[in-house]
Amino acid sequence: MPRQRGEPRPGAEELLHTLSRLAGEVLARTKLQQARAELAIALQRTMLPDELPEAPGLRTAARYTPAREGLDVGGDWYDAFPMPGGAIGIVIGDVQGHDVDAAAFVGQVRTGLRVVAGITSDPGEILARVNDLLVSLEPDLFVTCSFYRYDPATGELADARAGHVPTIRAQPGGHSEVLLDAGGLPLGVFAGQEYPVTRRRLTTPGVFVLLTDGVVEGPDFPLGRGLERVARLARAEVGADPDVLAAHVLAVADLTGHSDDAAVLVVSHEGT
């Protein structure tokens, strides 16, 4: 408010007191922001595996980049772990929102998937049970994900999808495709959902690229264009080191025009 005519000017002591109070408020807000950021980063680290499991004829590699601004961390994640019977569970997902709450929710989802995968090996049933569990907790968030189960003994790759971005598949000879497998709703929305399972026998070499929408969609990059860009990369590098392909796919995120986080998980197989 402007000073009224005849009103005395504030003294130096009063000005110093006001400046000191404002500086203290700014410092307190900065410390709070820093604490929240450190918490979010710590949670983010715990939701990604330290290493990926190995299986005969199968190589995997993953890349993740956090959001570029503020506290937008913790929404995207990937995981891979041994399942009973020698199979490998492979999952990638994206929680609605990107903050401390989203990071904590990722931890719940990841734990739920691992626990249920120790009870049943069917990807559709795993997603259905975890979905019912999350709904019972009445979360304010939901999550999309794709769950894959690879059996080295049979060469079968079975998958179920819960509202997640399609996977890219590429094979030698210049062939690639966007896998529009049937799926269900994201997890945590409605109970009693079913998640169809697609089964493939991996008899020939190839690669699957699992990703989140932060890689392929944004203000400057429609989803279809992003998926096609990744498909071209997969065609060109189908026999390359999976870690190299994962790095090149993650670089596509720089074209999207937003600051979302992004995750890529490459699964390369030799065939049976």
pLDDT digits (tens, 9 = 90+) for 98-129: 667 777 788 889 999 999 999 999 999 999 99
Is the CB of residue 141 less than 8 Å from the CB of residue 105? yes
| Structural domain contains residue 216 | yes
Q: Is the pLDDT of residue 11 over 80?
A: no
- AA letter at 102: A
| Structural domain contains residue 10 | no
Pick from 83, 61, 18, 70: nearest CA to 40: 70
- The structural domain count of the chain equals 1
| Structural domain contains residue 16 | no
| Structural domain contains residue 33 | no
Q: What CATH number corresponds to the domain at position 94?
A: 3.60.40.10
| Structural domain contains residue 7 | no
| Structural domain contains residue 11 | no
Buried b / exposed e along 81-104 (16+ C-beta atoms within 10 A): bebeeebbbbbbbbbbbbbbbbbb
Looking at residue 139, its pLDDT comes to 80
| Structural domain contains residue 225 | yes
Above pLDDT 90, what percent of the chain? 58
**pTM, whole model, 2 decimals?**
0.82
Looking at residue 35, its pLDDT comes to 57
| Structural domain contains residue 46 | no
Quote the domain boundaries for residue 107: 51-269
Above pLDDT 70, what percent of the chain? 78
Is the CB of residue 204 less than 8 Å from the CB of residue 271? yes
Instruction: Please write the tens of the pLDDT for every residue from 122-163.
Output: 999 999 999 999 999 888 889 999 999 999 999 999 999 999
Q: Is the pLDDT of residue 167 over 80?
A: yes
